[in-house]
Structure formats: C-alpha cells, structure tokens
Amino acid sequence: MEYRSLGRTGVQLSPLCLGAMMFGPWGNNDTADSIRIIHRAIDAGINFIDTADVYSGGASEEIVGQAPEGRRENVFLATKFFMPMSEDPNQRGGSRRWIIREVENSLRRLDTDYIDLYQVHRPSPDTDVEETLGALTDLVRQGKVRYIGSSSYSGSQIVEAQWASRERNLERFVTEQPPYSILVRGIEEDILPTAQRHGMGTLTYSPLSGGWLSGRWRKNSDSTPTSSARPNARFDMSSPANQRKLDIVEELAQLAEQSGMTLIELAIAFVINHPGVTAAIVGPRTMEQLESYLPAADMTLSTDVLDRIDQLVAPGVTVNPDDNSYGAHELTPLALRR
C-alpha cells in the first residue's frame, strides 16, 4: 500500500482509512468481530482509523479503543465531535464548553492519552468559528490533540476558518472530510481545490455513495435501499434523480467488468486516484466487506476508464443534490426567505 502525505503535515497515511461507524449497535454489535476487522485492516497496511463520539452513542469509540493492543503508536487515530450526545442542548455543537468536556469523554472511550486528529463533525451557524478554533488550539497545546480538522464544510467556510486561524494565531484545520464518489462529485468544483490551495488533506467519506455503488441495488432489483443513518430522500426510488443513479450504476457495472475489476473496486479506486484526495474512508460492517475494499488501494484507473466515468457523471456534478451534506443551513426555507 503506497502511503501519501496528509496535506503539508508530513504525516504519511494509507490511501484507505478504516471508518468505524458500523462498529457497535448501528451496524456490527459483535465487539470481538469488530476488533478482528480492525486488526485485519491494520495487518493489511491501513494505518488510519476514523470514528466519532456519536457513532453508536460512543460504543464505536470504545471498540476502537480496545483494538490496537500495543500498536497505538502505529495508528493515526481520528474522531469527531459536534452531533447531539443527549437531549441536553449543551451536549453538542462547537462551543468551548462542550469541546473541553467532550474531548475527555472521547479520550476515555478510546483509552488513549491523545487523539491524532480531532474534527468538527459539522459547521455551526450559531457558533463563531474562532470560539471553536480557540478551544481546539488549547487542546493541541495541552497535548491532548495533535491536529484538528473539519467535516462537511463549504468552500467559503474552509476559507473563513483558515483566515481566522492566521488572523488570531490559532491552530488551523489541516483536513477536510467531505462526501465524494462517482455519483457525488460536487466537491471537485470548489471543496477539493480550496483544500489543496490551503495545503489541507482531504479525507473523503462514502466512496460507495451510501451503498449505491456496492452492487447491492440494481435497476431490476426487488430490494429497496433503506438506511436509518441517512436522509430518506437519498433512497426514495421514485425520484427522477435516483432513477438516473440506477441507470448510471448499470453502466458503471459494465465498465468495471470490462476493466477486470468489481464495481466496488472501481468506485473506491476512482476516489483515491484523485490527486487532491488523501484517503477514502471505508466503513465495513463485516470482514467480507473489508476484504472487498482492500484491492482498490493498489489500483490505478486508465485514462479511458476515467473518460468513460466523466461521460456518465460530469466532473463537479452530484447526480442527486440530496447526497450532499453541506449547505444544509444556508438552503433551509427560513434562510431563503427575504
């Protein structure tokens, strides 16, 4: 597995990142099996694990914390904060009060003295970015956090955060974590080039587009995509955009077969072949799923294959806008009223 630099930090990471969202009650509730999956990923050369406090209500962090077994120094460990952890309105968000409290909870669940990458899970329209950056800067200076990053920030929000860091002499976000797949290419137009200009690493999630590119759902399939962790609009099979996605999946499946690879391998290889992408986050629930992801780490797509993908989904285009995870606050009916 060929490692690549995390932005301008000099840290070398595997092109596949093990996402731990499916470890715990949200996915695989067998702790021992989840740990075996983590061990297999590390043995295969993956040195990067990403989780979040909210995944399975903290259970994911606890499982990840049990796994390294003496190899903690060989693993780049990332987690996130921001999502609600209870009904208490102050146990969420990007406030100093919550960050200082929640980092201690994550450190305890992860059974570690430090977090390599601590990320804001979502931007907040109600919290000054300087408040969030100030608290995160203190954590870095205390040695509890090594680097900080953002997730699902728009291009303008990335720039604002970088400006605030320089203006106020605060730690800066060194990573951005956006959704990216063949079906969700919106970040190519703004997010990826913005992150590259600021020397940030880009850690993309959902390379299989929520399962659409796994081969699980096909045009003539009787099954209906469902997911309790994602908006229903993403899986409404009656929508024209999702019907278009099914057509594209059929074409991609043929392209993968002609290229001597699986649809899953094609989808993941497409993501990590982009020069602006540091790593693609893959979130297996089973060992079989992990094994199906691993070969993509060493695959390079030919110009002909990339050109055909561009014909099916043009660069910078997201087939169904509901698949984007940024801009949610700006596009609400209340925000749009004049």
Could you please report the per-residue DSSP string of 14-69? -SEEEE-TTBSTTSB--HHHHHHHHHHHHHTT--EEE--TTGGGGHHHHHHHHS-T
Backbone dihedral region for residue 169 (phi beyond 0: left; psi -120 to 50: alpha; all else: beta): left
The tokens describing 139, both together, are: 């954590």
| Cα(40)–Cα(37) distance, integer angstroms | 5
Q: What is the pLDDT of residue 323?
A: 86
How many beta carbons lie within 10 A of that of residue 312, not counting itself? 17
Residue 324 — pLDDT band, cuts 50, 70, 90?
confident
pTM: predicted TM-score of the whole model, two decimal places: 0.92
Residue 69 — pLDDT band, cuts 50, 70, 90?
confident
Active-site residue set: 55
How many beta carbons lie within 10 A of that of residue 197, not counting itself? 12
Residue 326 — pLDDT band, cuts 50, 70, 90?
low
Q: What is the pLDDT of residue 216?
A: 78
Mean pLDDT of 315-322: 92
Q: Is 120 in contact with 81 (CB distance < 8 Å)?
A: yes
Mean pLDDT of 121-150: 96
Q: What is the pLDDT of residues 32-68, one digit of tens each?
A: 999 999 999 999 999 999 999 999 999 999 999 999 7
Asked whether residue 241 carries a pLDDT value surpassing 90, the answer given is no
Q: What is the pLDDT of residue 1?
A: 87
Q: What is the pLDDT of residue 328?
A: 59
Q: What is the pLDDT of residue 227?
A: 47
Mean pLDDT of 292-306: 96
Q: What is the pLDDT of residue 219?
A: 67
Q: Is 102 in contact with 138 (CB distance < 8 Å)?
A: no
Mean pLDDT of 106-111: 98
Mean pLDDT of 118-129: 94
Q: What is the pLDDT of residue 239?
A: 83
Asked whether residue 223 carries a pLDDT value surpassing 60, the answer given is no
DSSP, residue by residue, 204-236: EE-TTGGGTTTTSS-TT-S-----TTS-GGGG-
Q: What is the pLDDT of residue 196?
A: 97
Q: What is the pLDDT of residue 238?
A: 77
At residue 6, what is the residue type? L
| Cα(126)–Cα(272) distance, integer angstroms | 34
Residue 286 — pLDDT band, cuts 50, 70, 90?
very high
Report percent pLDDT > 90 for the chain.
Answer: 83
Mean pLDDT of 118-125: 94
Q: What is the pLDDT of residue 336?
A: 64
Give the least confident one: 234-243, 278-287, 289-298: 234-243
Asked whether residue 221 carries a pLDDT value surpassing 70, the answer given is no
